[in-house]
Amino acid sequence: MKYFVVFAVFLAAAYAAEDKTEAPVEGHKTYKRLIPADVLRDFPGMCFASTKCATVEPGKTWSLYPFCGRSTCVVSEDKPPRLLELVEDCGPLPLQNPKCKLDEEKTNKTAEFPYCCPNFICEDGVKLEYPEIPTVAPVPEEIAAASTTAKPV
């Protein structure tokens, strides 16, 4: 019984500490990928956020507005370390399907990511198909976990 109480307290504490923003947003398909970061020669050790025209410290996140997405500046574990950009966005649009259409009411292109991702309505029994995205390498777990967003859906 003592172990059950300890487990219950641990479980309650873990649930209370859970960040609700980590859960995937219903109806939004999101993607993560690592790319080499843009770096300005006068600001080594910082990522250049072209959508903000500003430099960003490692570990910091910025919006990709006017595009639907966000990026995080991360330092690789390579020797020597290099700067990478963890890009999170809506990914590719689904393949054309005449039985599906963009849900204009639930799509808000000016909302923050991931709420700006497009929503689609399909006829009963119809499922959207997405194009395959070639990947060079998966996002390492430690970098994906450090991000402030939902895991790929």
Q: How confident is the model at residue 136 (pLDDT cuts 50, 70, 90)?
A: low
In this structure, how many other beta carbons lie within 10 angstroms of the beta carbon of residue 74? Answer: 24
Specify which residues 55 forms β-bridges with: 48
The per-residue pLDDT for range 96-112, each reduced to its tens digit, is 999 999 999 999 999 99
Report the DSSP beta bridge partners of residue 73.
85
Helices (H) and strands (E) in the chain, counts: 2, 8
d(CA 135, CA 5): 45
pTM: 0.67
Phi, psi of 63 (to 5 degrees): -80, 150
Give the CA dihedral 142, 46, 64, 25, nearest 10 degrees. Answer: 20
Q: Among the listed ranges 16-20, 104-108, 133-137, 148-152, which one has the minimum average pLDDT value? A: 16-20
Q: Which two tokens stand for residue 105?
A: 């009411």
- Encode pLDDT of 41-100 as tens digits: 999 999 999 999 999 999 999 999 999 999 999 999 989 999 999 999 999 999 999 999
pLDDT at 144 (0 to 100): 61
Helix (H) or strand (E) holding 10: helix 2-17
Distances (CA, A) of 65 to 20, 115, 141, 145: 23, 12, 26, 23
Q: Residue 6: which residues within 8 A CB-CB, separation 6 or more?
A: none
Token pair recorded at residue 43: 């600001």
